[in-house]
Copies of this chain bind each other. A is one copy, B any other.
Amino acid sequence: MNATTLRALADSNRLKIVELLLSGPLTVGEIVDRLGLHQPQVSKHLRVLSDAGLVEAEPSANRRIYRLRPEPLRELEDWVGSFKRIWDDHLDRLDDYLRELQTPE
Protein backbone atom coordinates (compact mmCIF):
# COMPACT_ATOMS: atom_id res chain seq x y z
CA MET A 1 0.00 0.00 0.00
CA ASN A 2 1.23 3.49 -0.70
CA ALA A 3 1.15 6.17 1.96
CA THR A 4 0.24 8.94 -0.47
CA THR A 5 -3.36 7.85 -0.76
CA LEU A 6 -3.67 7.49 2.98
CA ARG A 7 -2.01 10.81 3.65
CA ALA A 8 -4.46 12.50 1.31
CA LEU A 9 -7.35 10.94 3.20
CA ALA A 10 -5.90 11.65 6.63
CA ASP A 11 -7.55 15.04 6.97
CA SER A 12 -11.09 15.44 8.14
CA ASN A 13 -12.02 18.09 5.61
CA ARG A 14 -10.65 16.09 2.73
CA LEU A 15 -12.48 13.07 4.05
CA LYS A 16 -15.68 15.09 3.97
CA ILE A 17 -14.99 16.15 0.41
CA VAL A 18 -14.45 12.57 -0.67
CA GLU A 19 -17.62 11.47 1.06
CA LEU A 20 -19.53 14.28 -0.61
CA LEU A 21 -18.28 13.22 -4.02
CA LEU A 22 -19.49 9.72 -3.32
CA SER A 23 -22.97 10.98 -4.18
CA GLY A 24 -21.79 12.35 -7.52
CA PRO A 25 -19.57 14.97 -9.11
CA LEU A 26 -19.63 18.51 -7.79
CA THR A 27 -18.18 21.88 -8.68
CA VAL A 28 -15.85 23.65 -6.31
CA GLY A 29 -18.56 26.11 -5.38
CA GLU A 30 -20.98 23.37 -4.50
CA ILE A 31 -18.42 21.79 -2.19
CA VAL A 32 -17.75 25.17 -0.62
CA ASP A 33 -21.45 25.67 0.05
CA ARG A 34 -22.10 22.24 1.45
CA LEU A 35 -19.12 22.13 3.75
CA GLY A 36 -19.07 25.78 4.75
CA LEU A 37 -15.35 26.07 4.08
CA HIS A 38 -13.54 28.91 2.36
CA GLN A 39 -13.06 28.54 -1.35
CA PRO A 40 -9.25 28.66 -1.36
CA GLN A 41 -9.01 25.91 1.24
CA VAL A 42 -11.35 23.73 -0.78
CA SER A 43 -9.27 24.31 -3.91
CA LYS A 44 -6.15 23.41 -1.98
CA HIS A 45 -7.68 20.25 -0.58
CA LEU A 46 -8.84 19.30 -4.05
CA ARG A 47 -5.31 19.82 -5.23
CA VAL A 48 -4.00 17.35 -2.68
CA LEU A 49 -6.69 14.84 -3.57
CA SER A 50 -5.98 15.34 -7.23
CA ASP A 51 -2.24 14.88 -6.80
CA ALA A 52 -3.00 11.63 -5.03
CA GLY A 53 -5.18 10.57 -7.93
CA LEU A 54 -8.27 10.41 -5.79
CA VAL A 55 -10.23 12.95 -7.79
CA GLU A 56 -10.16 14.42 -11.26
CA ALA A 57 -11.54 17.65 -12.65
CA GLU A 58 -13.41 18.27 -15.83
CA PRO A 59 -13.66 21.91 -16.94
CA SER A 60 -17.11 23.03 -17.86
CA ALA A 61 -17.32 26.65 -18.91
CA ASN A 62 -16.41 28.71 -15.94
CA ARG A 63 -16.33 25.84 -13.49
CA ARG A 64 -14.56 22.64 -12.77
CA ILE A 65 -16.49 19.52 -12.03
CA TYR A 66 -14.72 17.18 -9.63
CA ARG A 67 -15.36 13.49 -9.42
CA LEU A 68 -13.82 10.56 -7.62
CA ARG A 69 -11.34 8.35 -9.39
CA PRO A 70 -11.88 4.70 -8.51
CA GLU A 71 -8.35 3.39 -8.87
CA PRO A 72 -6.75 4.43 -5.57
CA LEU A 73 -9.89 3.54 -3.67
CA ARG A 74 -9.95 0.17 -5.27
CA GLU A 75 -6.33 -0.29 -4.33
CA LEU A 76 -7.08 0.69 -0.77
CA GLU A 77 -9.92 -1.75 -0.64
CA ASP A 78 -7.71 -4.55 -1.91
CA TRP A 79 -5.12 -3.73 0.69
CA VAL A 80 -7.43 -3.63 3.64
CA GLY A 81 -9.16 -6.70 2.28
CA SER A 82 -5.93 -8.61 2.69
CA PHE A 83 -6.39 -8.17 6.42
CA LYS A 84 -9.41 -10.40 6.50
CA ARG A 85 -6.95 -13.09 7.42
CA ILE A 86 -6.90 -11.75 10.94
CA TRP A 87 -10.63 -11.35 11.35
CA ASP A 88 -10.58 -14.54 13.30
CA ASP A 89 -7.44 -14.57 15.29
CA HIS A 90 -6.68 -18.24 15.53
CA LEU A 91 -3.24 -17.88 14.04
CA ASP A 92 -2.29 -15.10 16.38
CA ARG A 93 -3.35 -16.93 19.50
CA LEU A 94 -1.42 -19.95 18.34
CA ASP A 95 1.55 -17.71 17.80
CA ASP A 96 1.29 -16.50 21.38
CA TYR A 97 1.06 -20.04 22.64
CA LEU A 98 4.19 -21.06 20.80
CA ARG A 99 5.94 -18.03 22.18
CA GLU A 100 4.89 -18.95 25.70
CA LEU A 101 6.45 -22.37 25.27
CA GLN A 102 9.86 -20.93 24.57
CA THR A 103 9.76 -18.37 27.37
CA PRO A 104 11.79 -19.74 30.24
CA GLU A 105 9.79 -19.53 33.46
Contact = CB atoms under 8 A, between A and B. Distances in A.
Interface of A: 1, 3, 6-7, 9-12, 15, 19, 22, 24-25, 58, 60-61, 65, 67-68, 70, 73-74, 76-77, 80-87, 89, 91-92, 95-96, 99-100, 103
A73 B80 contact: yes
Nearest to A8: B10
A32 to B, nearest CB: 17
Given A77-B83, A86-B70, A99 B60 contact: yes
A19 B1 contact: yes
Which DSSP category, helix, strand, loop or mixed, fits chain A's interface? helix
Given A1-B19, A70-B87, 10 more contacts: A3-B12, A22-B82, A24-B91, A25-B95, A25-B99, A65-B99, A68-B92, A73-B86, A77-B77, A77-B81
Contacts of A25: 92, 95-96, 99
Nearest to A9: B6
